[in-house]
């Protein structure tokens, strides 16, 4: 844990303290883990109404120049060049062994006509990501960090109702699209996306207006503040990976079951196949010529005992066959849920495994993901 004295604070720090948040070190920042209502109430409020999250610790980058899309595509196994204007996509920065340096989101804000690729990376990785991107493609495009900008996430089925009062037009967005907006003279950019499995939005805005905008959102009857604790339980129920827990530099996208993030154009037989770090290994895993030995799966507990990260998983014979990477008692699922890596032969749905919790074998079952159905607004 970072010593408190050295922690950075987001533009909403004073507001968090005013609202009675319990602050904790996270990614080098002092961040709210929960407010007085508590994790369970915040989780359920997001699922039923709208939760406001401060995610300003994350890193925002602008990539510009005529070669920016092709350059950025050379770092990831995803289709950057074919992405439409104001469309958003999930991406994976890879090392030369095919391991995941970070997962990110990016939007094509008309980069071909003088706009940019707007990239959002994880807070704990942002300085390393910037250095990696600069080193690999800095000669091909301009990379501008905007780490001082604020980022808010408004998530839940009533998020659109609340946000549309402040930013008319956002209701026309569908999942994974974005638009520029203005609020009190400030330039904002809004995407219909998030990290909870619910409908919702992420709003990039200048730091000086972040607190006033957050207060305006919290004044809406649907909206309450939500901390990192509920953000974690919501994303886990949605089956979404947390960087550093469920994916890392030792994990390939195929091992992580993120095959859906690799478009056909980048796969064997595609028009722009290969050409990304670790391509030979990843494409061999994808086409089955060298399948991965371990794979990420979802697990549900058959007893009401939470199973946390780093817990070993054993087969019926008592042999270790995997390890939990994220786990808790799902507030909406109302049962223990977990993400884990297991040997490939134990990935079939319904396979029984034992989680070794303090020496006790707790039965679990391989389950489909997500644990709670996603409710993204696809139009």
Read off the pLDDT of residues 124-179 as tens digits, 9 standing for 90 and up.
999 999 999 999 999 999 999 999 999 999 999 999 999 999 999 999 999 999 99
Whether residue 24 lies inside any domain: the answer is yes
Q: Is 98 exposed, middle or buried (0-12, 13-18, 19+ CB in 10 A)?
A: buried
DSSP state of 87: B
- Residue located via tokens 């062994």: 97
Q: What percent of the chain has pLDDT over 90?
A: 98
Q: Is 301 exposed, middle or buried (0-12, 13-18, 19+ CB in 10 A)?
A: buried
Whether residue 49 lies inside any domain: the answer is yes
State the CATH number of the domain containing residue 189: 3.30.1360.120
- Cα angle vertex 57, ends 29, 278, to 5°? 115
Which residues span the domain enclosing 169?
A: 4-56+149-226
Looking at residue 23, its pLDDT comes to 98
Whether residue 18 lies inside any domain: the answer is yes
Compute, in degrees rounded to 10, the torsion defined by CA atoms 125, 128, 133, 134: 140
Whether residue 29 lies inside any domain: the answer is yes
- Cα angle vertex 233, ends 230, 239, to 5°? 140
Whether residue 143 lies inside any domain: the answer is no
Q: How many domains does the chain have?
A: 1
Whether residue 235 lies inside any domain: the answer is no
pLDDT above 90: residue 4: no
pLDDT above 80: residue 48: yes
Looking at residue 1, its pLDDT comes to 45
Query: CA-CA distance, 365 to 298, in Å (whole number)?
Result: 8
pLDDT above 90: residue 329: yes
Region 90-95: what's the mean pLDDT? 98
pLDDT per residue as tens digits for the range 230-250:
999 999 999 999 999 999 999
pLDDT per residue as tens digits for the range 268-289:
999 999 999 999 999 999 999 9
Whether residue 217 lies inside any domain: the answer is yes
Whether residue 347 lies inside any domain: the answer is no
Task: Identify whether the C-beta of residue 311 lies closer than 8 Å to the C-beta of residue 247.
Answer: no
Query: CA-CA distance, 75 to 91, in Å (whole number)?
Result: 10
Looking at residue 5, its pLDDT comes to 67
pLDDT above 90: residue 97: yes
pLDDT per residue as tens digits for the range 202-236:
999 999 999 999 999 999 999 999 999 999 999 99
Q: Closest by alpha carbon to 55, among 226, 243, 191, 248?
A: 226
Q: Which residues pair with 202 in a beta bridge?
A: 153, 191
pLDDT above 70: residue 3: no
* pTM, two decimal places: 0.97
* Average pLDDT of the chain, as a whole number: 97
């Amino acid at each position: 844990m970072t010593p408190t004295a050295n922690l950075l604070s987001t533009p909403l720090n004073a507001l968090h303290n005013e609202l009675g948040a319990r602050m904790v070190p996270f990614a080098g920042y002092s961040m709210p883990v929960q407010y007085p209502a508590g994790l369970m109430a915040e989780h359920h409020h997001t699922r039923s109404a709208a939760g406001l999250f401060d995610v300003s610790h994350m890193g925002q980058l602008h990539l510009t120049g005529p070669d920016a899309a092709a350059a950025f595509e050379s770092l990831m196994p995803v289709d950057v060049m074919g992405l439409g204007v104001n469309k958003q996509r999930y991406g994976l920065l890879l090392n030369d062994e095919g391991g995941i340096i970070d997962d990110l989101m990016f939007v094509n804000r008309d980069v071909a006509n003088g706009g940019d690729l707007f990239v959002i990376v994880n807070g704990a990785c942002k300085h390393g990501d910037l250095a990696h991107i600069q080193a690999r493609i800095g000669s091909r495009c301009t990379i501008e960090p905007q780490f001082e900008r604020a980022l808010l996430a408004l998530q839940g089925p009533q998020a659109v109702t609340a946000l549309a009062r402040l930013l008319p037009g956002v209701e026309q967005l569908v999942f994974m699209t974005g638009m520029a907006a203005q609020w009190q003279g400030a330039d904002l950019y809004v995407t219909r996306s998030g990290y909870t499995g619910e409908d919702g939005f992420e709003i990039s805005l200048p730091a000086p207006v972040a607190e006033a905008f957050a207060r305006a959102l919290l004044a809406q009857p649907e909206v309450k503040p939500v901390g990192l604790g509920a953000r974690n339980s919501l994303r886990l129920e949605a089956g979404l990976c947390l960087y550093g827990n469920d994916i890392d530099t030792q994990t390939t996208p195929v091992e992580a079951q993120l095959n859906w993030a690799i478009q056909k154009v980048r796969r064997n037989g595609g028009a722009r196949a290969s050409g990304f770090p670790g391509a030979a290994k990843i494409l061999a895993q994808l086409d089955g010529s060298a399948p991965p030995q371990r794979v990420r799966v979802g697990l549900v507990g058959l007893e009401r005992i939470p199973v946390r990260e780093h817990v070993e998983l054993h087969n019926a014979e008592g042999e270790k066959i995997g390890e939990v990477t994220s786990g808790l008692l799902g507030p909406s699922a109302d049962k223990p849920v977990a993400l884990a890596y297991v040997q490939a032969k134990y990935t079939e749905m319904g396979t029984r495994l034992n989680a070794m919790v303090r020496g006790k074998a707790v039965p679990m079952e391989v389950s489909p993901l997500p644990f709670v159905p996603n409710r993204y607004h696809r139009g």
